[in-house]
Amino acid sequence: MRHEIISPTEATTYRAGELIADLLAPGDVVSLSGDLGAGKTCLVKGVSAGLGVIENVTSPTFNIMLEHHGRLELFHFDLYRLERAEQLEDIDFYGTTEAGGVSFIEWGERFPEALPEDHLSVDILIGDDDSRLIVLSPSGPRASALAEDWSAAVLSDVGA
C-alpha cells in the first residue's frame, strides 16, 4: 500500500528522517529517488541523526558508498555515477546491503533488479511551492510495516 508524506520545509524532511530512524531494524533497505536537490541527502542526514551518528553526513556521490556508525550501521549509497549493474559487484553492494546494517540508496531506481525483494522505495517530488511530497512504495512485508509506521509517526509528530 502506498503512503504519502507532505514535507513543507527542509527541516520537516530532516525530521521525517529522524522519525524513520527509530523504526529501522538491521537489514532494512530504503531506495531513494527524486530529482537533484529533491532532499534525498537531507532525509539521510535526519536518519543519521536519529541513529546517533556523530560525524557529518554528506552525499556519497564521488565515493559511491559511505558507512556511518550509530545505533545501527548506516550504509549510504549514491548510484548516480554507476552506468551498469555489474559495477555494483565492484563496490560490494550485495554484501553490504546484507551486512546487518541499514542501507539508504540514492538513485536506487537505476538498478531495480539489484534491490532486495523486501525494500522500501521512497520517491521525493518537488512541489510548485518548493514543498516535498514523499511517496512510500513498499515491496514486501517488512517494508510495508515500515512504511505504515513511518507515515503514522510523521503524521503524529508534524501533522503532515
Query: Is residue 79 within 8 Å of 105, Cβ to Cβ?
Result: yes
| pLDDT interval class at 159 (50, 70, 90) | low
Helix (H) or strand (E) holding 82: none
pLDDT digits (tens, 9 = 90+) for 90-122: 999 999 999 999 999 999 999 999 999 999 999
Yes or no: say if 21 and 53 are a contact pair by the CB < 8 Å rule. Answer: no
Identify the structural domains of the chain with CATH numbers, from first to last: 3-158 (3.40.50.300)
State mean pLDDT over 79-92: 93
Q: How far apart are CA 143 and CA 131, in angstroms?
A: 25
What are the cell numbers at 43? 532525509
Tell me how far apart the alpha carbons of residues 31 and 56 are, in angstroms, rounded to a whole number.
21
**pLDDT score at 46:** 97
Distances (CA, A) of 105 to 30, 41, 113, 144: 6, 10, 13, 18
List pLDDT tens digits, range 117-144.
999 999 999 998 989 999 999 999 999 9
Place of cell 503524529: 156
Q: Please tell me whether residue 63 adopts helix, strand or coil conformation.
A: coil
DSSP E strand stretches across 9-131: 29-34, 65-68, 74-78, 102-106, 119-126
